[in-house]
Amino acid sequence: MVPHNSNTTSREMALVILAMIPGLFALGWIFGPGVWIHSAIAVPTAIVAEAAILLARGRNPMGELNDLSAILTALLLAVSLPPLLPWWMVLLGTGFAIILAKQLYGGLGQNPFNPAMIGYVILLVSFPKEMTSWLSASGMGGETISWGAATQAIFGGAPVALDSLSGATPLGGLKTTLAEGLTLQESLEKIPSGLLAGPGWEWVNFAFLFGGTILLLTRTISWHIPVSVLAGLSLMALIFNTIDPASYATPLYHLLSGGIMLGAFFIATDPVTASTTPMGRIWFGLGIGVLDYIIRTWGGYPDAVAFSVLLMNMFAPLIDHFTQPTIYGAQKGEKA
């Protein structure tokens, strides 16, 4: 995606938004309509926040809102949030993403960090309990939370009846049971499981993988970052699962139980905050995958896509500096 040409940028952003639809549908189908309600809150909040800041800076809002980047940021944040997170937290996170992480640095093309992940991390460190409580996967053709119950929970506080439906994600449950001294097999028998990984999450990841494949086929993104992210996570999981299969989950479980497909194809590939050279993108993606595994396994959070992306955003300029291709016929050490 090219962030400096408005027409090109709006087209690319629109393709990314369209590619997110399978993941949005899967999340709503499996975990209830909360993600759709959050999207309906986040999108207008992002538009209003961006327009207000642009007006305050003496710039024409319509000229920059047309690039659709604010809408994409809002959707990326919305799909990352627990389905019953209160409305005002969604509004707060979106406001921080647009105002603090994007416009404070000058707008699209100037921000060093992924805005959606800044909004997510601010909410996570401020409200850890609410941000780590997900609904159990109850869709997939079975009974799920209704629109009325989800709306009541988001706008009026969750009723007691919903407490039994909430809990940790599969990665969070696995992390807790392993810390209690159970083996991997005992842990997997104790926590809910789907066909291949955490219940529901495998289908969500397949949906985002499908959308990501569309982005690859349309050349909206290059293969370097998403493939490297998945390779870095898989390699780490394979190494430790091989060393101690009783204590470390398989690569497949890691790939299908968290938000790595969303992160690899839709978040890490942000053209403004990622590395720009072909080799740099590979190292950038590998770093995200490795960091995600390290924080998942030994850190304080069960999933770490946001932290991993933001940490690698910090190193993107340095990676680009050392991976600039040499100009053909140039003197030794001269870069493109």
Which ranges of the chain does DSSP label H, i.e. alpha helix?
6-19, 21-31, 34-56, 61-65, 69-80, 87-95, 115-126, 128-131, 147-156, 170-179, 184-190, 201-217, 224-243, 251-257, 260-262, 278-298, 305-323
Place of tokens 């690569």: 251
**Confidence (pLDDT) at 156:** 87
Q: Mean pLDDT throughout 215-235?
A: 97
Closest CA relative to residue 100, chosen from 73, 60, 140, 129: 73
Give strand pairing partners of 181. Answer: none
For the stretch 4-35, pLDDT in tens is 455 588 899 999 999 999 999 999 999 889 99
For the stretch 93-124, pLDDT in tens is 999 999 999 999 988 889 999 999 999 999 99
- The single-letter DSSP state of residue 166 is E
- Say how far residue 245 (Cα) sits from the centre of its chain: 28
**Confidence (pLDDT) at 7:** 58
Q: Mean pLDDT throughout 147-157?
A: 87
Higher pLDDT, 331 or 29: 29
Q: Mean pLDDT throughout 68-83?
A: 95
Higher pLDDT, 129 or 263: 263
What DSSP string describes 231-242? HHHHHHHHHHHH
Least confident stretch, 132-141, 200-209, 310-319: 132-141
- Joined tokens for residue 66: 């047309």
pLDDT at 225 over 90: yes
pLDDT at 2 over 50: no
- Joined tokens for residue 83: 């389905």
Rg (CA), the chain: 20
pLDDT at 256 over 50: yes
229/55 Cα distance (integer angstroms) = 38
